């Protein structure tokens, strides 16, 4: 059962997320699947999740979700992942920047009767917005406030700003 659940999740990552094969959602996801995401969005239902994935791919056509670590126990699968892509299209109201970004995250996925029924994802949205240039980096904020954060302190100690 645990191996089957890991295989199911890897198919979701490899085929649905990375290849944008949303047609496979019928096979992998429960009709009433719920996804809780750090974008402050709860995606409810298979069709809504398909639209969410398509929206992500419109913003980042070369989107790639890499599983860095995966483990399962019973009906839960946990993964640590890295999402990379180039922002060449609209993304949740943000105009394209053509910048490449990479963010990490964690996800817990609940599987019942061979289908994904719910998931909880947490990832660094703030860091993504910083990489895309929509928000200043923590170092820039610290320099402006004349506050020392670890990376800024290293620059100051080396004779930098």
- Listed by start position, the domains of the chain span 2-123
| Pair type for strands 115-123 and 29-37 | parallel
pLDDT digits (tens, 9 = 90+) for 102-156: 999 999 999 999 999 999 999 998 899 999 999 888 777 777 777 666 665 655 5
The answer to whether the beta carbons of residues 11 and 57 sit under 8 Å apart is no
| pTM (predicted TM-score) | 0.82
Average pLDDT over residues 89-99: 91
pLDDT at site 148: 66
In Å, what is the CA distance from 144 to each residue of 39, 127, 137, 139, 141?
28, 18, 11, 9, 5
Measured between alpha carbons, how far is 60 from 12 in angstroms, rounded to an integer? 18
At 157, the pLDDT band (50, 70, 90 cuts) reads low
- Write out the two tokens for 88: 């060449």
Q: Which CATH class is domain 2-123?
A: alpha beta
pLDDT at site 156: 54
Phi, then psi, of 130 in degrees rounded to 5: -70, -45
pLDDT at site 63: 96
pLDDT digits (tens, 9 = 90+) for 34-77: 999 887 678 999 999 999 999 999 999 999 999 999 999 999 99
pLDDT digits (tens, 9 = 90+) for 43-54: 999 999 999 999
């Amino acid at each position: 059962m645990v191996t089957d659940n890991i295989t199911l999740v890897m198919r979701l990552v490899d085929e649905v997320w990375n290849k944008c094969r949303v047609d496979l959602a019928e096979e992998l996801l429960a009709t009433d699947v719920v996804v809780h995401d750090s974008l402050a969005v709860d995606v409810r239902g298979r069709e809504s999740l398909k639209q969410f994935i398509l929206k992500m791919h419109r913003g980042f056509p070369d989107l790639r979700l890499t599983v860095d670590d995966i483990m399962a126990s019973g009906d839960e699968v946990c993964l640590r992942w890295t999402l990379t892509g180039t922002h060449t299209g609209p993304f949740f109201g943000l105009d394209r920047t053509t910048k490449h970004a990479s963010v990490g995250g964690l996800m817990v996925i609940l599987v019942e009767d061979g289908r994904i029924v719910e998931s909880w994802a947490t990832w660094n949205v703030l860091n993504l917005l910083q990489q895309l240039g929509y928000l200043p980096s923590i170092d820039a904020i610290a320099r402006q406030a004349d506050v020392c954060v670890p990376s800024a302190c290293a620059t100051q100690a080396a004779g930098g700003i």
